[in-house]
Amino acid sequence: MAQLPVDPTLADYGEIFRQAFKASPKAYEDKLRSGLTRLQIENPPVLDMFLGSPVAGALRQVAPEKVSDTMIGQLVSSVLPEQYKQKVGDIGLGGLSADEKALYSLLRENDPELRRNSVELGQVPVRGGVGGFKEAQIPAGNVGARAAQIGGVVAADLASDGMRNIWWFLNAPQAVAQVAMFQGMNQARQKQVKEQGLSQVLHQKEAVLKRRNVRMAAAAPAWIAASMGVGNFMRQPGYKETLPSEADPTRTENVAGELANRYFLGRSGSLLPYEEFRQERPDVSRAEYNAYKNYLFSGSSPIKATADGIQGPEVTFMGKSIPLATGILPMAAAVVGARRGIKRGMAKVQEGQGYQKERIAAERYENIQRDEKASEASKERAFRAYRLRSEKNEDEVLKSVLANTSAATAGAALSGYVLESLRRALKGRAPQEDEE
């Protein structure tokens, strides 16, 4: 095995830094996909998001795989009822499993190009080997080599805006809801493949909603619920328009700009002054109004919560107030509905042996593509048969996801609005005299 020089030179450290700086977490995923050319692979959305960040990609190599791999997780699981222990312990934390780490090392060992384009913490380039590129394990106590590798990863992340892109992407509640939706569907798909014994006809990472626009359509109820929860669809009682009229802040003279502000920029109006606010929200006293404004503008935490929001309990995320009853519960219901929809849709497809038929059609098309004597017409017929079967399966799952998600989201939203209306009605009219 190659050895790192006992006394590495600055040139050695420079090469370690350069290799880490030029590497990308996507190189490994591209390697995996290259052996599955027929399949449309669907990674967990959180993983896809992390693949754009060199720092996040490196952290996956040292992070625990699931909750049960941590001491805190084991402690929490030990006090839970038996039926919940495994479910909590199996919650993923993003780290690679032992098998995934072994495969990662094996593929890099046998592929010089992958070694050059990816980073394995603790393994650094040395002179020699194919194309002048070999790797050696960093000896214990060699802080300089580790610092050079980590420095290269961090520099690559800064240069590519990796972690900052993740941070900015998650600034919007709608984006968080969409990621949660995709993650829930992905997990449900993997579970269904395992429980229904479909691994012979569906790869563990093979998408069942293959086209991006179809997946986006399936996730629509989640971002709609999030948008309604933060007031992006319409002005809420007690709030201004985003482009208020000078004569009446509850109205706008720029309808197109108002729609653009809410839909494209995700803005919602600010609170009206109390004298105007109470005209639409007579259930809120001046003291409650002042306490709520103090909550909104105090502290610097990106996430905070209160049980005394003017719309009941709420979470404030990146400056966006999301009520529990009319925002968070519908968003959670959308994820639950999506998981249920994926399972039911895949089960319905499998009732007619749909995935077996798709696999057979795909293999027939691949075989005829390789046949030099096959005519273009026969290739076209084989492709059409595969495409029609694939789209039929996809449509069946999409219908199931939309039906279950829409029903769950609408039910939760309606229940939330009823509960909020009852809360305001039970409070009654607040005292209207000035309160200090």
Locate 198 and state its tokens. 């479909």
292-300 long-range contacts, CB within 8 A, separation 24+: 296/321
Evaluate whether 153 touches 22 at the Cβ level (below 8 Å).
Answer: no
What is the per-residue pLDDT across 376-416, written as a single tens digit (0 to 9) for each? 889 889 888 988 998 899 999 999 999 999 999 999 999 99
Q: What is the pLDDT of residue 407?
A: 94
Q: What is the pLDDT of residue 131?
A: 45
DSSP type of residue 131: G
Evaluate whether 281 touches 312 at the Cβ level (below 8 Å).
Answer: no
Q: How many helices (H) and strands (E) does the chain have?
A: 19, 5
DSSP type of residue 134: E
CB atoms within 10 A of CB 78: 8
Q: What is the pLDDT of residue 436?
A: 45
Q: What are phi and psi of 229, to 5 degrees?
A: -65, -35
d(CA 35, CA 111): 14
Distances in Å between the alpha carbon of 93 and those of 46, 59, 65, 70, 198? 10, 11, 5, 10, 26
Q: Is 111 helix (H, G, I), strand (E, B) or coil?
A: coil
> What's the one-letter identity of residue 189?
R
DSSP type of residue 174: H
Q: What is the pLDDT of residue 21?
A: 92
Spans of the chain, pLDDT less than 50? 129-132, 435-436
> What's the one-letter identity of residue 282?
P
Of residues 280, 252, 284, the one with CA closest to residue 268:
252
Count of all residues that appear for the chain in the document: 436
What is the per-residue pLDDT across 238-267, written as a single tens digit (0 to 9) for each? 899 989 998 899 998 888 888 888 877 777
pTM: 0.70
Q: Is 92 helix (H, G, I), strand (E, B) or coil?
A: strand
Q: What is the pLDDT of residue 76?
A: 77
Q: Is 431 helix (H, G, I), strand (E, B) or coil?
A: coil
Angle at the Cα of 341 from the Cα atoms of 340 and 346, rounded to 5 degrees: 105
